[in-house]
């Protein structure tokens, strides 16, 4: 990991120059790509980041929806200045901090997975993995009517945050008989919906075993490797549905009228955070100057037991 200077291009007529204030590290995806794990590109150099919150510095002549000084978010990288088109940017609601707004992208990733689960009021939901996306998915599952919602992880630190974020149960899979604990919490039936948010391929067979008959398993975390599944026992006999929920797997809006677009979901996430319905402040472990980016990534890789969300501050000069 290195910090480099670059020559800033000027925006085209339909673009804006944005001065970054805060960026949220996508801890799962970015560290996986940094380590060249399976199902990542393995190509370097990379310029990571897609959770940018900042202020419009200048606008091109054809830009009509934004003006200099507007506070906006965009799926742009970790950099002091970025260029975005109108379609790539969204205004931050009044009163919402740059730090909280930077959760818009991870929130929309979690939301499209929860939408695909089609949760009905009173259906039980297990979320495997209580990283940033996992806890966001858990909160959104609860907002969608899931009850009980159950968070599962191997780190007590994350489970503590999960409980504060609304989990009805929080299980450490290293300390309990997970299948029994989930059955006890769901009146013996297992979970109607299991959202796999770890990205660990070994967790997918576990997700299938935790699901009830005719349950749905949502693969929200990107699996970094191959899984070994007993399809007859864990899927075929139980009539389980498996749904892939990579964020790019959205139906074409023109041909699938009524489906929520990425922009729709990001807009809703900003409104939910602004109205206190989606809680993100407790997901920020610490905020640091961008100069300390290398240390931040190392903590996310090697200290998962006590680090969750890290915000890079682009206005601090002291590191």
Q: Is the pLDDT of residue 256 over 60?
A: no
Q: Is the pLDDT of residue 255 over 90?
A: no
Show which of 244, 264, 298 is a domain's final residue.
Answer: 244
Average pLDDT rounded to a whole number, residues 10-32: 96
Does one domain contain both 64 and 179? no
Confidence of residue 76 (pLDDT cuts 50, 70, 90): very high
Does one domain contain both 26 and 99? yes
Does one domain contain both 143 and 216? yes
How many secondary structure helices (H) and strands (E) does the chain include? 10, 13
Residue 33 structural domain: 15-103+280-313
Mean pLDDT of the chain: 95
Does one domain contain both 96 and 120? no
Show which of 196, 227, 244 is a domain's final residue.
Answer: 244
- pTM value is 0.95
Confidence of residue 56 (pLDDT cuts 50, 70, 90): very high
Does one domain contain both 93 and 155? no
Would residue 164 count as lying in a domain? Answer: yes
Exposed, middle or buried, 146 (CB in 10 Å: 0-12/13-18/19+)? buried
Predicted confidence (pLDDT) per residue in 84-134, tens digit: 999 999 999 999 999 999 999 999 999 999 999 999 999 999 999 999 999
pLDDT of residue 318: 46
Average pLDDT rounded to a whole number, residues 68-95: 98
Exposed, middle or buried, 224 (CB in 10 Å: 0-12/13-18/19+)? middle
**Other C-beta atoms lying within 10 Å of the C-beta of residue 288:** 18
Show which of 244, 270, 297 is a domain's final residue.
Answer: 244
Would residue 268 count as lying in a domain? Answer: no
Would residue 137 count as lying in a domain? Answer: yes
pLDDT of residue 285: 97
| Counted domains in the chain | 2
CATH assignment at residue 29: 3.90.180.10
Q: How far apart are CA 102 and CA 76, in angstroms?
A: 11
Does one domain contain both 210 and 309? no
Does one domain contain both 219 and 291? no
DSSP assignment of 21-61 equals: EEEE--HHHHHHHHTT-TTS---SS------EEEEEEEE-T
Does one domain contain both 113 and 239? yes
**57-61, 111-115, 153-157, 245-249: least confident range:** 245-249
Does one domain contain both 96 and 124? no
Structure tokens at 270: 């900003």
Query: What residue has token string 């260029």?
Result: 83
Per DSSP, which regions of 135-181 are E strands?
A: 149-153, 169-172
pLDDT of residue 210: 98
Would residue 272 count as lying in a domain? Answer: no
* Contact between residue 72 and residue 58 where contact means Cβ atoms under 8 Å apart: no
Does one domain contain both 186 and 156? yes
Does one domain contain both 162 and 238? yes
Predicted confidence (pLDDT) per residue in 151-165, tens digit: 999 999 999 999 999
Does one domain contain both 99 and 115? no
Q: How far apart are CA 284 and CA 310, in angstroms?
A: 6
Q: Is the pLDDT of residue 183 over 90?
A: yes
């Amino acid at each position: 990991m290195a910090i480099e200077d670059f020559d800033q291009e000027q925006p085209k007529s339909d673009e804006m120059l944005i001065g970054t204030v805060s960026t949220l590290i996508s801890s799962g995806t970015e560290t996986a790509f940094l380590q060249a794990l399976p199902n990542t590109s393995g190509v370097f150099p990379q310029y990571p980041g897609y959770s940018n919150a900042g202020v419009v510095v200048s606008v091109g002549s054809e830009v009509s929806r934004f003006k200099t000084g507007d506070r906006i978010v965009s799926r742009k990288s970790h950099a002091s200045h970025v260029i975005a088109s109108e379609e790539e940017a969204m205004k931050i609601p009044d009163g919402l901090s740059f730090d909280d707004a930077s959760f818009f992208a991870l929130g929309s990733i979690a939301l499209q997975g929860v939408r695909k689960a089609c949760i009905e009021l009173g259906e039980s939901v297990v979320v495997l993995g209580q990283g940033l996306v996992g806890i966001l998915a858990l909160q959104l599952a609860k907002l969608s009517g899931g009850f009980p919602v159950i968070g599962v992880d191997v780190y007590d630190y994350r489970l503590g945050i999960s409980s504060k974020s609304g989990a009805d149960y929080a299980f450490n899979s290293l300390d309990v008989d997970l299948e029994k604990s989930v059955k006890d919490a769901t009146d013996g039936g297992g979970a109607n919906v299991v959202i796999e948010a770890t990205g660990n391929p070994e967790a997918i067979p576990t997700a299938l075993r935790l699901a009830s008959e005719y349950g749905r398993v949502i693969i929200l975390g990107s699996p970094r490797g191959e899984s070994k599944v007993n399809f007859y026992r864990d899927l075929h006999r139980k009539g389980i549905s498996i749904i892939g929920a990579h964020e790019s797997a959205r139906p074409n809006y023109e041909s699938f009228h009524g489906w929520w677009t990425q922009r729709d979901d990001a807009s809703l996430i900003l409104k939910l955070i602004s109205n206190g319905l989606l809680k993100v402040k407790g997901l920020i472990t610490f905020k640091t100057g961008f100069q300390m980016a290398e240390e931040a990534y190392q903590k996310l890789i090697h200290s998962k037991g006590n680090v969750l969300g890290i915000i890079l501050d682009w206005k601090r000069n002291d590191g």
